[in-house]
């Protein structure tokens, strides 16, 4: 009888991350006060758990995207902590932390870009130009300090997606696809967040769950992209 396949440490951390993400997604959409209190336990554990899955993955040891992705996850962790609060100051701190994370992603992607320009950046720029003005206007109307924050952060998001489209074709296709999917989901998640926070007067609670579902999926696929970039 063949011996059962041993689950790796990295896989255990991935499974733990998926469980945490699912729990936090459910809690985020709940109207029960205790659900929001419970997020003080679940949300701060997301990025450390995902980072642990990348650190313990032996296939990722040679990945050129490993260091930049870990730095980006650290920025995401700080942003998660800041956004446990709901005031304008918390939002600006969170956006700043996530911007640092996106700067790390962009640095890693551009440091491993292909020798020639590939399709993608123009379409991303057009998408940003179409979707960001409404968010910026809504944020400015709510608090004048938030307008520049949203403008700068949304540009960083778009830049992350644009840079993801330029990864070297010599990298494994699965790594490039996972990275682009993650960057795209990140942009979608923050668009949903901006819609909920700045454009809708009475947003449904389910929208917050959609924000968290797309955000946690985005970080997962970006981490997977980094891990798969180490397998040639």
Q: What does the pLDDT look like over 127-147, one tens digit per residue?
A: 899 988 888 988 898 888 888
Helices (H) and strands (E) counted in the chain, each on its own, are: 9, 0
**18-44 confidence digits (pLDDT tens):** 999 999 999 999 988 888 889 999 999
Residue 75 CA to residue 96 CA, distance in Å, equals: 9
**88-118 confidence digits (pLDDT tens):** 889 889 999 999 999 999 999 999 999 988 8
- The DSSP code for 8 is P
Q: Classify residue 31 as exposed, middle or buried by CB count within 10 Å of its CB (0-12, 13-18, 19+).
A: exposed
Q: What is the mean pLDDT of the chain?
A: 92
**202-218 confidence digits (pLDDT tens):** 888 899 999 999 999 99
Mean pLDDT (whole number) for 45-53:
98
Mean pLDDT (whole number) for 48-59:
97
Q: How many C-beta neighbours within 10 Å does residue 115 have? A: 8
């Amino acid at each position: 009888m063949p011996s059962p396949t041993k689950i790796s440490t990295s896989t255990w951390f991935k499974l733990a991350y998926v469980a945490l993400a699912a729990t936090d997604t459910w809690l985020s959409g709940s109207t029960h006060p205790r659900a929001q209190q419970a997020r003080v336990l679940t949300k701060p554990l997301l990025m450390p758990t995902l980072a642990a899955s990348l650190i313990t993955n032996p296939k990722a040891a040679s990945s050129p995207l490993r260091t930049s992705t870990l730095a980006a996850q650290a920025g995401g962790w700080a942003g998660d902590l800041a956004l446990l609060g709901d005031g304008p100051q918390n939002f600006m701190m969170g956006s700043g932390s996530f911007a640092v994370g996106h700067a790390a992603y962009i640095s890693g992607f551009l440091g491993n870009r292909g020798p020639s320009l590939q399709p993608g950046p123009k379409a991303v720029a057009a998408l940003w130009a179409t979707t960001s003005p409404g968010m910026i206007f809504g944020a400015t109307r709510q608090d004048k300090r938030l307008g520049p924050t949203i403008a700068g952060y949304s540009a960083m998001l778009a830049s992350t997606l644009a840079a993801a489209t330029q990864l070297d074709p010599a990298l494994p296709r699965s790594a490039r696809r996972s990275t682009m999917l993650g960057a795209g989901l990140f942009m979608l998640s923050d668009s949903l967040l901006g819609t909920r926070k700045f454009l809708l007067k009475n947003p449904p609670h389910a929208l917050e769950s959609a924000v968290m579902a797309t955000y946690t999926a985005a970080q997962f696929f970006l981490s997977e992209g980094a891990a798969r970039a180490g397998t040639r």
